[in-house]
Amino acid sequence: MKNGNRTYRIMISGGGTGGHIYPAIAIANAWKEKHPGAEILFVGAEGKMEMQKVPEAGYKIEGLTVAGLQRSLSLSNLSFPFKLLKSISKSRRLIKEFQPEAVVGVGGYASGPLLYVAQGQGIPTLLQEQNSYAGLTNKLLAKKANAICVAYPGMEKFFPKNKIRHTGNPVRKDILDLTGKKELALNHFGLDKDRKVLLVLGGSLGARTINQAILADMEALEKSGYQVLWQCGKFYFQEMMETVNQSNLKHIHVREFIKEMDLAYAVADVVVSRSGALSVSELSLVAKPVVFIPSPNVAEDHQTKNAMAFVSENAAILLKDSEAVGKVKETLDLLFEEEGKAEDLGRNIKKLSKANAAKEIVQALEEIIA
């Protein structure tokens, strides 16, 4: 175990989506809390959301030109080798300048070049895999990684068993205690204290099916006494706002992105969400009834697997993406009509949470630093 007063130099790489970025920031925060003198440098992909979100969290970040390979035939694939070589070259320079004692990869193609270089130089590396189906970058880096922190059982089918730590996914610290935040949240979002709050989350970029499902049911939801706090994502915000404004509905509150997630969770009576790794981990901690609508457009249908881990324990409801439009209100009505059902879901999902994930990852990282 390392001295708490020692000054560490840690690099953290990965990103592309909130599901990679927020766990990375949570790891950095937990490390700084235990080692206040530490220096942390993030490395992400130029033009991706980490280049904005990481500085907002108070950390420095460097960008690489690396981009992912498109699965379909695409001209952008022709530039992939050149971007990769350029990113490896910059990674070498960053490592030489920063001299890290360890490098953390949280997945996403941005972490590939940096960890490849670090592993080649014998610098300890730790991988954090958020999903039940491992990402390609982490699978490629696993052989030379010193530790691999995962959120789901059965990950030895992707990674060497002796390197796996079942830590859970690290989440933003502000959601660990929502006590006393409901009143503040009602005022912050301009909500009616006498209406049930439906919180709708489609991820940072948005989810077309969820957005279409809310559009289809929003009039009926408002008429039935619900109000909707709706993160629709940046790709859909303009379209959703225009449609809601034309509807004359007063209790449908559309947001492009909700930064104050602790307040959103505190005020929610029920949540409709995709079942990406970060969403699932956070929702298990906030202990609210959840309707998962898994995205079908992910590797090995891992969002359905994520959701089923909870549905099988009577800890969430699953609504198929193909059946969601026109079914949201009906699903919520059935949930609240059955006495005690909402409370049971909230209680059971809490049992599956792992509140100390960030601290456990910090411990694993300390152990691999010589």
Binding-site annotation: residue ranges: 17-19, 131, 172, 204, 258, 277-282, 303
First to last CA, the chain: 10
3-state secondary structure at position 178 = coil
The pair of three-digit structure tokens given for residue 177, joined into one six-digit string: 């205690």
Between helix 328-337 and helix 341-351 the angle, nearest 10°, is: 100
Instruction: Give the separation between CA 166 and CA 301, rounded to whole angstroms.
Output: 21
Strands 147-150 and 125-129: parallel
* 133 Cβ contact partners less than 8 Å away, ≥ 6 residues apart: 158, 298, 299, 300, 302, 305
- Binding site, annotated residues for UDP-N-acetyl-alpha-D-glucosamine: 17-19, 131, 172, 204, 258, 277-282, 303
The DSSP bridge pattern shows strands 60-64 and 9-13 to be: unpaired
To the nearest 10°, the Cα dihedral for 44, 47, 48, 49? 110
Q: Which of 126, 108, 114, 124 is nearest to 165 (CA)?
A: 126
